[in-house]
Amino acid sequence: MNIMTETALESAVNDKMNGTPNETIKMRGRKVCVFYGEKQALFDVDLDVRENQVTALIGPSGCGKSTFLRCLNRMNDTIDSARVAGKITLDDEDIYDPKIDVVELRARVGMVFQKPNPFPKSIFENVAYGPRIHGLARKKGDLDEIVETSLKKAGLFNEVKDRLHEPGTGLSGGQQQRLCIARAIAVSPEVILMDEPCSALDPIATARVEELIDELRQNYTIVIVTHSMQQAARVSQRTAMFHMGYLVEEGETDKMFTNPDDRRTQDYITGRFG
């Protein structure tokens, strides 16, 4: 290693130690437009997603938050009437390039939905399914290890270790959502998209998932859609405010909640509309 590299490394480590956020852009959206048939749902959205940070998407119902989230792993491809224009990159690679393997993309950019949706299979199988189809378990024992590690990272292992072969659907709502997070983690994603992951959970289960999101950001980049201003303020480092299909403004969460630039953000966070 030469001196320059050593210095650069040291400075990067110091930045980390000082808590300077990682400003690497993991995903970049430029002039993103989405149409459902004739109706346009998103207009020229430019939004960067920073690595190892939580980005919250907020705004009144129907403003396009979930539509934008679904663009990030091409889930809109599954909606017949949907058409996406503009450019979205992951590590500077165009995810809408025809060469992109969408199955592989969705392993790199995983998703957790509003309602916990475990498969009607055992807890073990819920987590093992993805790694198995993606060929991540090479030798016997690999799968056991992936399942255990993923459940640990999702903060669920201790609660379920004695009943791994019982149905995932038998868990509580909060546990099911953490199982879905373990399932997403099991294929080693780089980005995790969460569409209102706590809206079906009680306050205690919500608090547990919020803590988990904060832990996960050390290893993953997270984008979360939420209707809860408190949740956005608690879990995210950056917040993006949408209104009627437009990105109104985006910035550090602390600033967005104390001193936003746009009147619409101010009105929304203070409950004046939405």
Q: How far is the CB of 22 from ligand ATP (least distance, A)?
A: 27
Among residues 36 and 246, whose Cβ is nearest to ligand ATP?
Answer: 36
Tokens found for residue 27: 């995903």
Return the residue of 25, 33, 35, 36 that touches ligand ATP, per CB under 6 A: 36
Among residues 62 and 170, whose Cβ is nearest to ligand ATP?
Answer: 62
Among residues 61 and 218, whose Cβ is nearest to ligand ATP?
Answer: 61
81: contact with ligand ATP by CB under 6 A: yes
Q: How far is the CB of 152 from ligand ATP (least distance, A)?
A: 32
Dist CA 52 CA 73 (whole Å): 17
Q: How far is the CB of 79 from ligand ATP (least distance, A)?
A: 5
Among residues 125 and 250, whose Cβ is nearest to ligand ATP?
Answer: 250
Q: Tell me which residue of 231, 251, 233 sits closest to 241, measured CA to CA.
A: 251
Return the residue of 9, 79, 133, 204 that touches ligand ATP, per CB under 6 A: 79
Interface positions, 38-77, toward ligand ATP (CB under 6 A)? 41, 59, 61-67
Residue 228 DSSP symbol = -
Among residues 66 and 221, whose Cβ is nearest to ligand ATP?
Answer: 66
Q: How far is the CB of 67 from ligand ATP (least distance, A)?
A: 3
Longest dimension (CA), the chain: 58
Number of other residues whose CB lies within 10 A of the CB of residue 79: 12
What residues contact residue 38 under an 8 Å CB cut-off, 6+ apart?
Answer: none
54-58/221-225 β-pairing: parallel
Among residues 125 and 195, whose Cβ is nearest to ligand ATP?
Answer: 195
Q: Tell me which residue of 115, 47, 102, 112 sits closest to 76, measured CA to CA.
A: 102
Q: How far is the CB of 54 from ligand ATP (least distance, A)?
A: 18
Q: How far is the CB of 36 from ligand ATP (least distance, A)?
A: 3
Among residues 27 and 58, whose Cβ is nearest to ligand ATP?
Answer: 58
264: contact with ligand ATP by CB under 6 A: no
Interface positions, 86-105, toward ligand ATP (CB under 6 A)? none
Partner residues linked to 54 by β-bridges: 222
Q: How far is the CB of 167 from ligand ATP (least distance, A)?
A: 29
175 SS3 class: helix
Q: 117 to each of 112, 174, 186, 272, how far by Cα in Å? A: 9, 11, 16, 33
221-225/238-243 β-pairing: unpaired
Q: Find the helix or strand (DSSP H, E) in which 58 lies.
A: strand 54-58
Q: Which residues bind ligand ATP (CB under 6 A)?
A: 36, 41, 59, 61-67, 79, 81
